[in-house]
Chains A and B, each alone.
Chain A
């Protein structure tokens, strides 16, 4: 009995470590945190940002395993939703950059000067695609 409990604990721990390491690797490849420190010029706070990511991941896991409910006003969801969106948006942007889509496209069809307008196509596509999905697509 004790052995099986210990084994389950070990498996859970191993699982968590792998997923956690994978998540950090994922963040590192996309370089979201360095990008944000560069924009806000707060290189000295980088460890605080790391802890923010780690704590967020741990609290998110706890929240989704325990499912606590708070009777808080609904407008808080606007802030959380916005933060969630910005985060996913940054990852989406980083992904297109990692995949080198734009430099190739711009070079091939010779539109180096109108790169910005093309980038806006991606941004608006994401916004409208997402709104369409939530408002109309889901029955």
Chain B
């Protein structure tokens, strides 16, 4: 009876440029010890300068390579059908001035939009009316209302994002982290469909 091995491809791995990709990088394998030690070092791909920063290795290619060496091995694939390899060129680091620029952009933009919003909904008048409603007095600048309001504005955003600087309010991921995750997931899905040459067949492909 043929021996069975189980393979589970990893979803996403990072590799430096000019490295070789072995089977053990791409997938988790369940097999007998002796088989495993030789399978682990099967080379599937060599990243060269020509490669872009994303390479997708399909499971068919992996199985083909294994079959070439071990003809009567039965391969069971569990999990993802491909692995996304992210080629990391030298560690990309955002320059500090650039980062500060983005920070200031967000800071000023955020501040101006809230001013626009206040003007848009005539918030000054509303605040004056609330002041009159509570105290019975008229006032030009109800700052006793407006300063707590401004602080609350920041507080509300922090509560929503579930972050007080480095400290979390509880262990759940913040909506922002979930959002970043979803975005990454969609990107991966797109690349799996579009960059994986094995899964697209066009009319003019021969």
A and B pair up: yes
Assuming the A-B contacts A69-B133, A97-B175, are A81 and B156 also in contact, with contact meaning beta carbons closer than 8 angstroms in the complex?
no
Q: Is A16 an interface residue (CB 8 A)?
A: no
Query: In A75-109, which residues have CB < 8 Å from any B CB?
Result: 75-94, 97, 100, 102-107, 109
Mark A111-139 against chain B: 1 for CB-CB distance below 8 A, else 0.
11011111111111111111111110110
B145 and A77 form a contact (CB under 8 A): yes
Assuming the A-B contacts A92-B156, A116-B163, A134-B143, are A74 and B150 also in contact, with contact meaning beta carbons closer than 8 angstroms in the complex?
no
B111 and A114 form a contact (CB under 8 A): no
A130 and B160 form a contact (CB under 8 A): no
A89 and B143 form a contact (CB under 8 A): no
Of B103, B144, B151, B163, the residue contacting A127 (CB under 8 A) is: B151
On chain B, the residues within 8 Å of A84 by CB distance are: 145, 149, 152
A69 and B136 form a contact (CB under 8 A): yes
Tell me which of A5-13, A20-28, A47-55, A60-68 binds B: A60-68
Of A116, A124, A128, the residue contacting B166 (CB under 8 A) is: A116
Smallest CB-CB separation from B163: which chain A residue?
Answer: A116
Assuming the A-B contacts A84-B152, A130-B149, are A103 and B179 also in contact, with contact meaning beta carbons closer than 8 angstroms in the complex?
yes
On chain B, the residues within 8 Å of A131 by CB distance are: 147, 150
B134 and A72 form a contact (CB under 8 A): yes
Complex: A84 Cα to B94 Cα, angstroms? 38
Q: Is A15 an interface residue (CB 8 A)?
A: no
| Best-buried of B131, B142, B147, B172 by chain A (most CB within 10 Å) | B147
A85 and B144 form a contact (CB under 8 A): no
Complex: A112 Cα to B183 Cα, angstroms? 12
On chain A, the residues within 8 Å of B32 by CB distance are: none
A63 and B133 form a contact (CB under 8 A): yes
A74 and B163 form a contact (CB under 8 A): no
Q: Is A29 an interface residue (CB 8 A)?
A: no
On chain A, the residues within 8 Å of B179 by CB distance are: 97, 100, 102-103
Assuming the A-B contacts A69-B136, A117-B103, are A123 and B114 also in contact, with contact meaning beta carbons closer than 8 angstroms in the complex?
no
Q: Is B180 an interface residue (CB 8 A)?
A: yes
Other A-B contacts than A85-B153, A94-B160, A130-B111, 9 sampled, CB-CB below 8 A, are A39-B159, A86-B156, A86-B159, A89-B154, A103-B183, A119-B163, A130-B118, A130-B146, A135-B143
- CB-defined A-B contacts under 8 Å, sample of 13: A77-B131, A81-B152, A82-B148, A82-B149, A83-B152, A84-B152, A90-B159, A100-B183, A109-B98, A122-B107, A130-B146, A131-B147, A132-B111
